[in-house]
Amino acid sequence: MTTKPPVPKIAYAVLNAATLSPFDHDGWCQVMPAGHVRARDGRPETPAEGWLINEAAFNRMVARVVALNQPVKIDYNHQTLFKPEAAPAAGFVPATPARFRWDDNTGVWVKPDWNPPALEHLKNNEFPYFSPVMGYDARSGEPLELRMLAITGDPGLTGMRPVAALSAEYLYQALTVSPSSPKEPAMNPSLNALLAALGLTVPEGGELTDEIATTALSAVTTLKSQADKAAALETTMAALSADLNALKTQAPTVAVDLRRYVPVETYNAVREQVVSLSADLGKTTLAQTLDQAEQDGRILKSERAYLETLGDQIGVAALSAQLATRQPIAALTRVQTETLMLPPQHREKTATVALSAEELQAARVLGMTPAAFQKIKTEDAL
């Protein structure tokens, strides 16, 4: 954190009056000459050669007027110092740099706005002199402020008292504590209000620090960036809304060919029906395929459950291809019968028993003839 320089203690002095020529020089009036000046009471003691009025001093005084944002009052015979309740203004110098001018040869000039009564007095040469009240640093003697101005008819008098009798303390009290002349604000009220809106505060009587100023600038920059983005978004949304409205009102230029396009609701309904029918067809085709294979003697009844599951997994086409490679078993395509002759002791039990397709397949696998398989079956039955 930077260390702020000490706040100067301001003292005030009424300077020697200059001849006033308000109607010459396009309204510009000389206030202070360039070079060293003194008050009518002999001040200052420091610096001994007097206050130095140069361009740097001029710039300080103008900057202070602009910062306070208060016009410089011009009264009659410095009445504000003695009778503030009866001190009408003869005019004002607006708080803008355009109304102040520096000349290296002649010093400080101002361009006042005169009130109509003052113009009459000036035309009648009733107040031919201009007397400034200057604020200066009591320690260094550096000129700081053009506090006010007065038009006067007697360069040796301010009101009813001689200028020499006005002490620095009296002027300080008159210009800073007088009930009709309120104490100068530590900072421009508008700036205080702006800082408060940003959530920043400066203590009463305090000054704006570098930290507060940096924080305020950052907040303002952020707000401006957000405002710019919001403005850009509003512009984009307005353009999109305009396009949408145009599309809503625009009639279609090409009619829809219903021979090539259908409503999406119709398409979805048909698609669901096709899916359902395809599933049913798949089941029907699998059953038909297995029935045909069984009739051809390519599969056994005991295989059907297994082949149904396999068909669901690999599909009817793949299953059909596998079944086509199997050789039909002729014995499975018909019912075969054979009369078996039993031993004499069992002739009464002679019967014709038909072997099933599975039994015939089992006999073939075991390498037995149907008669031998039937014999074993009959013996087991006995």
Q: What is the mean pLDDT of residues 125-142?
A: 85
Summarize pLDDT for 34-61 with one digit per residue, the tens: 888 877 667 777 788 888 899 999 999 9
- Residue pair 138/11 in contact (Cβ under 8 Å)? The answer is yes
Rounded CA separation 97/110 (Å): 10
3-state DSSP of 159-206: CCEEHHHCCHHHHHHHHHCCCCCCCCCCCCHHHHHHHHHCCCCCCCCC
What is the Cβ-side half-sphere exposure of residue 70, based on CA atoms within 13 angstroms?
Answer: 17
Q: How far apart are CA 24 and CA 2, in angstroms?
A: 48
Residues 297-331 have pLDDT tens digits of 888 888 888 888 888 888 888 888 888 888 887 76
Q: What is the pLDDT of residue 58?
A: 95
**Percentage of residues in the chain with pLDDT exceeding 70?**
71
Tens-digit pLDDT profile for residues 187-234: 667 777 777 887 877 776 667 777 778 888 888 888 888 888 888 888
3-class DSSP state for residue 47? coil
Taking only the tens place, the pLDDT of each residue in 242-276 is: 878 877 776 556 666 666 777 777 778 777 776 66
Task: Please give the pLDDT value at position 381.
Answer: 67
pLDDT band with cut points at 50, 70 and 90 for residue 350: very low
Is residue 299 a contact partner of residue 290, using CB atoms and an 8 Å limit? yes
Separation CA 37–CA 380 (nearest Å): 151
Scan for tokens 């073939």, then name that residue.
364
pLDDT at 278: 63
* Kind plus residue range of the DSSP H or E element containing 143: strand 143-152
Residues in the chain: 382
Position with higher pLDDT, 256 vs 133: 133
**pLDDT mean across residues, the chain:** 76
